Amino acid sequence: MAVSDTDLIEAARDALADAHVPYSEYRVGAALRTADGTVYTGCNIENANYSNTLHAEEVALAEAVKNGHREFDRLAVASGVRDGVTPCGMCRQSLAEFADDDLPVVCDEGDGETSEYTLGELLPNTISEGTLDDARSP
Ligand code: THU
Ligand code: ZN
């Protein structure tokens, strides 16, 4: 069954419940829809060694890629405080490895409101495979 845009932000909100956030107490949920309509969700998973923390978006992306998906259609992100969370710079770059600049990224603003960006707006200059061309030997 196709997952509507409304259902996708709801899936991101639902994913908040699984967040492991004993340190920040800031829950993040993400829902990533693939080109064939499959949805993968993720939540942030913190660690006592803070830098080991997994972000919701990278958990969703990893799950999708692990299951053979390389093309993405839409990402929804929500936070527990409904404060207009957006993917951090690291997650933007991770998404750009697979998604085009025009990937819609919809962010929960609370009170039923959302803001929509494209990945290209959020990260206009990505590091891509082409960026590395000059460094590689022929
Ligand atoms: N967080 C995410 O899950 N995604 C982002 O892109 C922004 C930050 C999480 C990491 C940490 O658990 C908490 O939010 C506070 O930074
Ligand atoms: Zn992130």
Neighbours of ion ligand 2 (CB under 5 A): 55, 88, 90-91
Residues 103 and 115: their CA atoms lie apart, in Å, by 14
Q: What does the pLDDT look like over 26-51, one tens digit per residue?
A: 999 999 999 999 999 999 999 999 99
pLDDT band for position 77 (cuts 50, 70, 90)? very high
Q: What is the pTM for the complete model shown?
A: 0.95
The domain in which residue 16 lies consists of 5-136
Work out how many domains the chain is built from and give that number.
1
Q: Is 57 a catalytic residue?
A: yes
Q: What does the pLDDT look like over 98-135, one tens digit per residue?
A: 999 999 999 999 888 999 999 999 999 998 888 888 78
Residue 55 alpha carbon, nearest atom of ligand 1:
3
Backbone angles phi, psi at 34, to 5 degrees: -85, 170
Best residue for ligand 1 mutational test, from 16, 44, 50 (most atoms within 8 Å of Cβ)? 44
Residues 98 and 71: their CA atoms lie apart, in Å, by 6
For residue 16, give the CATH number of its domain. Answer: 3.40.140.10
Ligand 1, CB cutoff 6 Å, lining residues: 21, 24, 26, 28, 44, 46, 53, 55-57, 87-88, 91
134 CA to centre of ligand 1 in angstroms? 33
